[in-house]
Amino acid sequence: MTTSLVLASASPFRRALLENAGLTFSARAAQIDERVLEQPLEEAGASPVDVALTLAEAKARDVSRHFDGAIVIGSDQTMSLGTRVYHKPKDMAEAAEHLLSLSGRMHSLNSAIVLVRDGEVLWRHVSTAHMTVRLLDRGFVERHLKRVGEKALSSVGAYQLEGEGIQLFEKIEGDYFTILGLPMLPLLEKLRELGSIDA
């Protein structure tokens, strides 16, 4: 007998990944303030991986309160370059600053998943992708942002790899699902192991 699944996210991208994989699930956004949780972690010197895991767990625990017996999938992604952790740009000027700071350098996308049932953590996982941005000049960045518009503000790196953002890159090392924010292969393997989906 399979257990009901709940995705602790309002993200249409994460929802589509689970739907495309043929999973039956509910979705509910967690009611947490990510910035409030992140700030003390960053001040304490927590790694970007630890921040992603902590936020994924907080989301799963919050939603788990509303679904007795269900396995809740919490996920979060952090983007880091050295010790700098990036957040979604507030405006187009900050989006341009993000992209120029990534120019010619490799950054990391850390995608965490935490499974929770009845408030108990069943499993934690992080996958990391390494993304190398080609050398960019300010003129190109401004023209690029003008073309993609407000979409640049919806992701932490100010790019969408599935769209024109692919033009920014020289090299990508990592799993496509990790880049999108939900490492599907380890997740599906764990759900099969837990008897939550057909094995």
Q: Which one of the listed residues 76, 91, 118, 175 is annotated catalytic?
A: 76
d(CA 183, CA 97): 28
User: What φ, ψ does residue 98 adopt, rounded to 5°?
Assistant: -55, -50
Contact 111, 182 (CB under 8 A): yes
CA 145, 92, 11, 130 dihedral sign is: positive
Whether 175 sits among the annotated catalytic residues: the reply is no
Question: Cβ neighbours of residue 31 under 8 Å, at least 6 residues apart?
Answer: 62
Active site residues: 76
